[in-house]
Amino acid sequence: MTTATAYNAEGGPIMNADGTVAGPMDYGSGHIRPRHALDPGLVYDASFQDYLLYACASEGAQLDHSFPCPASPPRPHELNYPSVAIHGLNGATTVHRTSLAFARTGEKKSFTIKIAATGKRSRRLKRKYLAGSYTWSDGVHAVRSPVVVLVA
């Protein structure tokens, strides 16, 4: 949900009930903003099949039994989906996103994000979740996509 926000109505971070700052594992995509959803500014062109493949890649959960999961489905972070979640990052991986609509109806773009966990610091982060996001903006719209990585 690219029109959600990680901030509360006062502009501060979303908080947990215990007063600590919440993260993506607590609030998901963030606080829903229905008016922003009416004019999102950017659309990830994901099909029904993309979501079925995502389910196949997620521990073999098969949502539609008429859709056979491939023997080697793409990893969840390889699917054309706004959020990026990488489980067990060891070294580096590259995430590609395609079919982004930009200036005019039907115009397509793509981009690549490289995420790496290497060196001494990665050993200290072993089995820890790291969270961030990337945001596209045209000056009117701010399209935020969460990134969560579990370091192997």
142-151, strands of its sheet edge to edge: 84-89, 142-151, 129-137
Question: How far apart, in whole angstroms, are the C-alpha atoms of residue 33 and residue 39?
Answer: 11
Query: Quick one: pLDDT at residue 60?
Result: 55
Q: How far apart are the first and last CA of the chain?
A: 27
Who has greater pLDDT, 81 or 53?
Answer: 53
For the stretch 3-22, pLDDT in tens is 667 788 898 988 888 999 88
pLDDT for 20: 92
Beta strands in the chain (DSSP E): 84-89, 91-101, 108-117, 129-137, 142-151
Q: What is the pTM of this model?
A: 0.68
At residue 66 the predicted structure's pLDDT band, cuts being 50, 70 and 90, is confident
